[in-house]
Amino acid sequence: MAKRIDVTDLNVYYSAFKAVEGVSMTVEPRSVTAFIGPSGCGKSTFLRTLNRMHEVIAGGRVEGKVMLDNQDLYAPNMDPVAVRRTVGMVFQRPNPFPTMSIYDNVAAGLRLNGVKNKKSLDGVVETSLKSANLWNEVKDRLGKPGAGLSGGQQQRLCIARAIAVQPQVLLMDEPCSALDPISTLAIEDLVSQLKNEFTIVIVTHNMQQAARVSDRTAFFNLRATGEPGRLVEIGDTTKIFNNPTQQATEDYISGRFG
């Protein structure tokens, strides 16, 4: 079951540098929340704290709390690898495992989790590819390299790989920025379908995309270069785009800066 995220007073550091300051927000289950804001304002950094991916960079650490329902993702006994199984991630550029087939790309996480039964793997691979709207395009060439697909197909393959292990949350860091308009539309349609099963958080620089796919939108900004990014406001997407509370939000959405 998709779960709710509660973040309280989160500060994100890379060694001594504070990248994000004082973020508190709630992400509702089975919804799409979009993060918008100018480059360098901490959107992607904050996104990565939701599954502890920022820790793969030396010096990455947080202060504050990230709860997934009643589970503290930063509790001392919490394994970051287990967090990343629960909170999946799709990156800016499609990154299928280059030496693996389409089938093996989707099955990789299951095998890491100890699933060996061929029938079980077959079932999940098919279901995941169908959920990613890719099955009909690849069902006759599952043994071919995943890297041989088009860019849009590769990104949907990466989404299939992410959801195969049944995460409760799916993070997407600008998943369409490297794609053509037709592939972008396919990913947007997919996001709208996947929110029926998953809690989705997406970073995007595309205002129209945020307006199309998200239920809620969070606007991040920074006061000056070198300052930490901050959450300016979060609310229903319609309200953020049509009647934001903060002048900075209105200025950004209307194109006055960014």
Q: Provide the residue ranges of all domains of the chain, joining segments of one domain with +.
A: 5-93+169-253
Contacts of 218 by beta carbon, 8 Å cutoff, 6+ apart: 25, 33, 34, 35, 36, 231, 233, 234
Contact 244, 237 (CB under 8 A): no
Q: For 100-129, what is each residue's pLDDT tens digit?
A: 999 999 999 999 888 899 999 999 999 999
**Nearest-5° Cα angle at 159, 153 to 162:** 145
Please tell me the predicted confidence (pLDDT) of residue 73. 96
Is the pLDDT score of 256 beyond 90?
Answer: no
Q: For 46-85, what is each residue's pLDDT tens digit?
A: 999 999 999 999 899 999 999 999 899 999 999 999 999 9
CATH class of the region 5-93+169-253: alpha beta
Q: For 173-216, what is each residue's pLDDT tens digit?
A: 999 998 999 999 999 999 999 999 999 999 999 999 999 999 99
Please tell me the predicted confidence (pLDDT) of residue 1. 64
Q: For 131-182, what is each residue's pLDDT tens digit?
A: 999 999 999 999 999 999 999 999 999 999 999 999 999 999 999 998 999 9
Contact 50, 201 (CB under 8 A): yes
Supply the pTM of this predicted model.
Answer: 0.93
Please tell me the predicted confidence (pLDDT) of residue 112. 86
Is the pLDDT score of 225 beyond 90?
Answer: no
Please tell me the predicted confidence (pLDDT) of residue 48. 96
Tell me what the mean pLDDT of segment 238-245 comes to. 96
Contact 157, 106 (CB under 8 A): yes
Q: For 12-45, what is each residue's pLDDT tens digit?
A: 999 999 999 999 999 999 999 999 999 999 999 9
- Confidence grade of residue 258 (pLDDT, cut at 50, 70, 90): low
User: Residue 57, Cβ neighbours under 10 Å: how many?
Assistant: 11
Is the pLDDT score of 242 beyond 90?
Answer: yes
Rounded CA separation 99/244 (Å): 47
- The two tokens of residue 128 are 């995941």
